[in-house]
Structure 1
Amino acid sequence: MLRRFLGALGVLTTLVPDRIVDVFEGIAVENPEENTVHPWFNPLIRAEGVVITLAALRGGRLYAWLMNVTGIFGAVLLFIPRLYEHIAGSLVYEDPESVEWNEHLTDGVRVIGAVYVLLALLDRRRRNGR
């Protein structure tokens, strides 16, 4: 079931990366209209969507690798949520210093991190047959 969900998310990300950015900004950023997204960011998101879709469809080592990376990334989000603002700001925006993050972003990032870690652990447990 998780693979299907990730596959659908990957397809969605591949097809409408600009909408994914809009949703992200609507949740995470107070002043999205004042910030300019790097021109190469949408193709980067699209490429991520393709990788996620392929991993979900194929399964095996690629999917296991994706879930391991998801767990590691989730641990970073859970334990060092402010680092996300620095990484995302520089990765997404041309002028990351002008981004005004939503005041509840840190809590949301921690929750997402915890979910990522949980999903990775559940997947590892499934792969190990427990």
Structure 2
Amino acid sequence: MLRRLLLGFGFLVIVKPEPVIAACERVGLRNPDEPRPRPLALVGARLEGLAFVWLLVRGRQGSTLLSGLFGLAGLTLVLVPRPIIDLSQHLVYVNTDDLELQPWVEPAARLLGVLYLTVTLLPRSGNEESAAEERESGDTESSGRLPLPAR
């Protein structure tokens, strides 16, 4: 269920990033009418959504590098969110000096870090669960895999 919810969010960011960004600005900024996004901000949001979906669908089979980058970003956001917040603002907005952050942005960034870590771990646990279910049910025809010996 969590995977489907996260996939839906990732697809939303790919298809329609503007409302997601606007909601984040309304919640995270004291002056949400001030931000002036850079021309490639929407492309960056879509790429982030694509990476998010890719990891949820493919997991470690998709890209160890991408999974590692998401995990590193998540861990950094959990432990020291301020540098990532500052970096992301400079990448997304032209007028970062004009933006006034709400006091809960750092805790929210830590939660985003937990989400990133969850995305890197979910595919692995999901794939292990489906492999375990296949072994238990003995269903090897649909997967094309040979059955594993019982331990």
User: Structure 1 length normalisation: TM-score?
Assistant: 0.78
Residue 46 of structure 1 corresponds to which residue in structure 2? Answer: 46
Decide whether the 8 Å contact of 1:89 with 1:99 is kept in 2: no
Residue 5 of structure 1 corresponds to which residue in structure 2? Answer: 5
1:104 and 1:77 map into 2 onto residues whose CA distance is: 14
Residue 70 of structure 1 corresponds to which residue in structure 2? Answer: 70
The answer to which structure has the higher helix fraction is 1
| 1:108 paired to 2:132 | no
Decide whether the 8 Å contact of 2:56 with 2:119 is kept in 1: no
| 1:19 paired to 2:19 | yes
* Aligned-residue offset at 1:26: 1.5
| 1:84 paired to 2:106 | no
Distance 1:59 1:88, change over 3 A: closer
- Please list every run of 5 or more consecutive structure 1 residues that lacks an aligned counterpart in the other structure: none
Distance 1:104 1:48, change over 3 A: closer
Count of residue pairs the alignment pairs up: 130
* Aligned-residue offset at 1:70: 2.6
2:115 and 2:98 map into 1 onto residues whose CA distance is: 29
- Please list every run of 5 or more consecutive structure 2 residues that lacks an aligned counterpart in the other structure: 133-151
Distance 1:114 1:55, change over 3 A: closer
Distance 1:46 1:126, change over 3 A: closer
1:25 and 1:124 map into 2 onto residues whose CA distance is: 32
Distance 1:37 1:78, change over 3 A: same
Distance 1:60 1:104, change over 3 A: closer
2:64 and 2:5 map into 1 onto residues whose CA distance is: 15
Greater relative contact order structure (CA < 8 Å, 6+ sep):
1
CA RMSD after TM alignment: 2.8
Decide whether the 8 Å contact of 1:37 with 1:92 is kept in 2: yes
In the alignment, residue 5 of structure 2 is paired with which amino acid?
Answer: F
Paired-residue identity, %? 26
- In the TM superposition, what whole-angstrom CA distance separates every residue of 1:9-50 from its partner, at most 9, and x where no partner exists? 221011111111101101211112112111211122123323
